[in-house]
């Protein structure tokens, strides 16, 4: 661009400064004014009034515009002639003085820089001689404000020389098999070649898409849309339809744990990776060459990764865990004439309905007199049945509590146990009950536990992993918590040096979960490590089925840390029921903490 030839354009832009309100536009025009202020006759004439206008509007400008005004003022004072120097000195000194008192740090710093670099400002303050090292300041100022930028040679836009819509246009270099369109009338084809091409076009039923210029290899990429695939031949369509029928029963994702069927997992992974790569590209080059061409680091061998993450699976399915169900108070003896009623949720499954939760009731007579006619009834029996009829069809036959035979008499210090089958209508609100004893009614509340709104769902590890892969993304919820219960058990052991700490941690976590939730332990993975105290990598997998929807619910717990200290556990729940999964996740975290 030749600024002199566009002098009128610059003048017209500068004259419109008082009408422009956009800070970016004002800053750009002010930069043009300072850069080309003395390039021609017209621009030289407008410098004094424009500089006065900028000094007048300096206080009201934004920070970016103020900085450009300071830069342009410095350029004007350095390029002006001796005749106009005195007039410009006073204006620039006034602008720098305003900038020195500005509220912005950058503006004040720029003003201090100009006050040291511009000799004119020093003279205006009363100095009659040039400051020390004036030549150095002058050379530095000329280098900053009068330095010419080297023209940058922009590389040719490679994307313009490749066919639109082709892979070469995306990667900005020639893709394998790419061929540009020939120039018009530059190819001489004999009659046989022309006839063969026309015959192939008739068989494939190609339309205008066949003349788009894309190569054969690019048109068969797996990233093409359905509309782009309309030009494929009938033979390819039939083969793809047959391939879809053959793979209809195959699972969507085939990823297995490193410790299970390593050879099969590696083989399946290699097959899946091969399927993701276009067949035509793999015929042109190998997979490693393709990754190198795409400027990507080659993937590490699958077998090597499996070796590094190998683990030994320890099964506890045949091991009897110590279950300690938590007891809750249903009826306090102080307000019930000496009858104490405790309850704990039972892992038993109700034979009557899958919506019922089994609750163990423990009755105890803490008085010296005999208690008779002990029964339990629900206060919400009628209302809950009506609620079920209105909300969920098919569940109207499920009562709030299943009638159970009461206790005829209870001697002093005697205990009795009953199994109560309860249908909770909400996982938070308690169920109101009435306990009758000696002809008197005592109100009570039975609080639900969402960890028992599921029942064990036995499955092997392969089934668990396949189901977990299907419930990824929006069906996956995770939280972190700390676990310290194993420290008490390790501290009470006499021979703590000779016990397996990782095994103790595994038993503690599994026993804690199974004692407070009605789920099935699928497996526990213990990593191979030379450190006895390292518990990182311990993994527990539990499975259950939601009572209300019969949908599977998977729980995975992964440990990090040392066995001799608190463990950091990552708890993950996979389920299609979002609300239930989030509440169950919070309950599992509360159990662990």
For every residue of 33-102, DSSP letters joined together read HHHTTTSSHHHHHHHHHHHHHHHHTTTTS-HHHHHHHHHHHHHHHHHS-SSSHHHHHHHHHHHHHHHHT-
* CB 406, CB 374: distance < 8 Å: yes
Residue bearing the bigger pLDDT, 173 or 576: 576
Please report which confidence band the pLDDT of residue 315 belongs to, taking 50, 70 and 90 as the band edges. low
Vertex 125: Cα angle to 120 and 130 (nearest 5): 50
Higher pLDDT, 550 or 261: 550
- Judged against a pLDDT cut of 90, whether residue 534 lies above it is answered with no
| DSSP-derived secondary structure letter, 562 | B
Q: Give tens-digit pLDDT for 53-108.
A: 999 999 999 999 999 999 998 888 888 877 778 888 888 889 999 999 999 999 99
Flag whether pLDDT at 545 surpasses 90.
yes
Read off the pLDDT band of 240 (50, 70, 90).
very low
The dihedral over CA atoms of 418, 419, 424, 428, expressed in degrees to the nearest 10, equals 70
Dump the DSSP string for 93-111. Answer: HHHHHHHHT-SSHHHHHHH
For 312-332, what is the mean pLDDT? 69
Asked whether the beta carbons of 433 and 403 are under 8 A apart, the reply is no
Is the predicted pLDDT of residue 305 greater than 70, yes or no?
A: no
**Coil/strand/helix, residue 364:** strand
pLDDT at 555 over 90: yes
Separation CA 87–CA 102 (nearest Å):
23
Percentage of the residues of the chain whose pLDDT score is greater than 90: 17
Measured at the CA of 61, the angle between CA 55 and CA 65, to 5 degrees, comes to 90
Higher per-residue pLDDT: 431 or 252:
431
Average pLDDT, the chain: 73
For residues 20-35, average pLDDT = 90
Residue 167's pLDDT is: 82
pLDDT reported for residue 287: 53
Would the pLDDT of 236 be above 70? no
pLDDT of residue 246: 45
- Kindly report, residue by residue over 245-286, the tens digit of the pLDDT: 444 443 333 333 444 444 444 444 444 444 444 444 444 445
Question: Helix, strand, coil: what percent of the chain each, to 5?
Answer: 45, 20, 40
144/315: higher pLDDT: 144
pLDDT of 27: 92
| Candidate from 172-186, 430-444, 548-562 with smallest mean pLDDT | 172-186
Closest of 373, 428, 380, 426 to residue 401, by C-alpha: 380
The per-residue pLDDT for range 175-197, each reduced to its tens digit, is: 877 887 777 766 655 555 555 55
Taking CB atoms within 8 Å and a gap of at least 24, the contacts of 442-445 are 442/331, 442/335, 442/336, 442/339, 443/379, 444/330, 444/331, 444/341, 445/330
pTM over 0.85: no
pLDDT of residue 26: 92
Q: What pLDDT score was predicted for residue 463? A: 92
In the prediction, which pLDDT does 58 show?
92
pLDDT tens readout for residues 324-357: 788 888 888 887 778 889 999 888 888 888 888 8
């Amino acid at each position: 661009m030749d600024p002199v030839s566009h002098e009128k354009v610059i003048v017209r832009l500068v004259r419109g400064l008082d009408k422009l309100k956009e800070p970016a536009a004002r800053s750009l025009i002010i930069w043009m004014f300072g850069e080309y202020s003395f390039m021609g006759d017209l621009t030289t004439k407008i410098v004094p009034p424009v500089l006065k206008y900028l000094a007048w509007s300096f206080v009201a400008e934004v920070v970016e515009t103020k900085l450009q005004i300071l830069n342009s003022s410095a350029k004007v004072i350095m390029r002006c002639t001796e005749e106009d120097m005195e007039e410009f000195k006073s204006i620039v000194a006034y602008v720098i003085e305003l900038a020195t008192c500005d509220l912005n740090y950058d503006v004040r710093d720029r003003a201090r820089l100009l006050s040291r670099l511009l000799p004119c400002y020093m003279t205006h303050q009363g100095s009659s001689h040039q400051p020390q090292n004036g030549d150095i300041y002058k050379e530095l100022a000329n280098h900053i404000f009068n330095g010419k930028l080297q023209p940058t040679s922009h590389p040719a836009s490679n994307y313009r020389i490749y066919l639109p819509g082709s892979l070469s246009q995306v990667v900005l270099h020639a893709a394998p098999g790419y061929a540009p369109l020939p120039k018009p009338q530059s190819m001489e084809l004999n009659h046989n070649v022309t006839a063969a091409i026309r015959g192939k076009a008739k068989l494939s039923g190609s339309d205008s898409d066949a003349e788009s210029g894309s190569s054969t290899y690019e048109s068969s990429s797996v990233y093409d849309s359905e509309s782009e695939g309309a030009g494929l031949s009938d033979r390819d369509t039939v083969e793809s339809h047959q391939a879809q029928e053959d793979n209809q029963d195959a699972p969507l994702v085939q990823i297995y744990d490193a410790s299970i069927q390593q050879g099969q997992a590696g083989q399946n992974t290699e097959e899946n990776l091969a399927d993701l790569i276009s067949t035509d590209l793999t015929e042109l080059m190998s997979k490693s060459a393709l990754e190198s061409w795409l400027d990507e680091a080659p993937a590490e061998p699958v077998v090597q990764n499996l070796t590094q993450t190998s683990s030994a699976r320890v099964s506890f399915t045949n091991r009897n865990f110590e279950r300690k169900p938590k007891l809750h108070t249903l009826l306090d003896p102080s307000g019930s004439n000496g009858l104490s009623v405790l309850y704990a949720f039972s892992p038993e499954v109700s034979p009557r309905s899958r919506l019922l939760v089994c609750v163990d009731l423990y009755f105890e007579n803490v008085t010296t007199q005999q208690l008779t006619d002990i029964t339990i009834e629900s206060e919400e029996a009628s209302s809950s049945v009506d609620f079920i009829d209105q909300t969920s069809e098919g569940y109207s036959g499920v009562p709030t509590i299943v009638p159970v035979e009461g206790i005829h008499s209870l001697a002093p210090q005697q205990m009795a146990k009953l199994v109560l089958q309860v249908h909770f209508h909400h996982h938070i609100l308690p169920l109101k009950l009435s306990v009758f004893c000696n002809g008197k009614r005592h109100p009570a509340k039975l609080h639900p536990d969402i960890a028992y709104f599921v029942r064990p769902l036995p499955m092997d590890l392969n089934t668990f992993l396949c189901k977990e892969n299907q419930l990824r993304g929006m069906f996956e919820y995770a939280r972190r918590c700390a676990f310290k219960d194993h420290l008490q058990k390790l501290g009470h052991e006499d021979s703590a040096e000779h016990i397996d700490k990782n095994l103790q941690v595994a038993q503690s976590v599994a026993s804690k979960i199974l004692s407070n939730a009605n789920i099935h332990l699928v497996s526990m993975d213990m990593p191979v490590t030379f450190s006895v105290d390292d518990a990182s990598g311990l993994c527990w997998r539990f499975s259950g089925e939601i009572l209300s929807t019969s949908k599977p619910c998977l729980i995975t717990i992964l440990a990090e840390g040392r066995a001799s200290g608190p463990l950091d556990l990552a708890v993950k729940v996979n389920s299609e029921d979002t609300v239930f999964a989030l509440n169950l996740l919070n309950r599992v975290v509360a159990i662990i903490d």
